[in-house]
A and B are shown apart, each in its own frame.
Chain A
Amino acid sequence: DAKTTQPTSMDCAEGRAANLPCNHSTISGNEYVYWYRQIHSQGPQYIIHGLKNNETNEMASLIITEDRKSSTLILPHATLRDTAVYYCIVRPLNRDDKIIFGKGTRLHILP
């Protein structure tokens, strides 16, 4: 799986959009970008995934650059409950073996 690079931590004011970047310069053509988050003391939670088009669901939006070497997860109106560690993962879509989580980005939502 392609390697990903994320900032260690970020702050965002409550009510503002939180933009979490992820670099994946070695991504290959069949690899998707996935995002998970982990709220303190809970198991990780799937957020969204995409290949090359921008994606949106009820939780977030995913913007992938045209060359697919980086992406941004956007939480449009961050709340205190969005404080969590966010993991960016790159892997083929239907490969049913292990998912490797990196260290992620610790997002602090500030009141």
Chain B
Amino acid sequence: NAGVTQTPKFQVLKTGQSMTLQCAQDMNHEYMSWYRQDPGMGLRLIHYSVGAGITDQGEVPNGYNVSRSTTEDFPLRLLSAAPSQTSVYFCATNLMGRSYEQYFGPGTRLTVT
């Protein structure tokens, strides 16, 4: 039981490049979400999903796309990376009805130059 996994752990992109951050969970949790965390700031919600085929925007969705084709996977896509997207990205999951108990992945540290 791996819990919540994220790949890659580290990534450097040039401005304008695209990439996908991967998040996978094997806990059969319906709810998944993406956060970003910048130095000295708390976590800010980017996008979330309450189940396969359903996604919605969080606080800071601009510049990011998501999709949820399976329960297990919730990839985050950067279509055209910008230096302002340099951050640490965390994926989180929880069972529906237990949103107080989210499980977070180890994070992806992204640098955009």
Contacts and interface: CB of A to CB of B under 8 A. Distances in A.
Interface residues of B, number: 29
A84 to B, nearest CB: 13
Interface string A68-111: 00000000000000000101000101111111111110000000
Nearest to A32: B100
Contacts of A97: 48, 50, 56, 99
Contacts of A34: 100
Interface residues of A, number: 25
A78 B98 CA distance: 28
B59 A44 contact: no
Contact of A98 (B42, B48, B105): B48
Contacts of B92: 43-44
Interface string B32-69: 01010000011111001010000010110000000000
A94 B94 CA distance: 11
Contacts of B107: 41-43
Contacts of A99: 33, 45, 99, 102
Given A34-B100, A42-B106, A94-B97, A104 B59 contact: no
Interface of A: 32, 34, 36, 41-46, 49, 85, 87, 91, 93-104
13 contacts: A34-B100, A44-B92, A46-B103, A93-B100, A94-B97, A95-B99, A96-B96, A96-B99, A97-B48, A98-B45, A98-B48, A100-B45, A103-B41
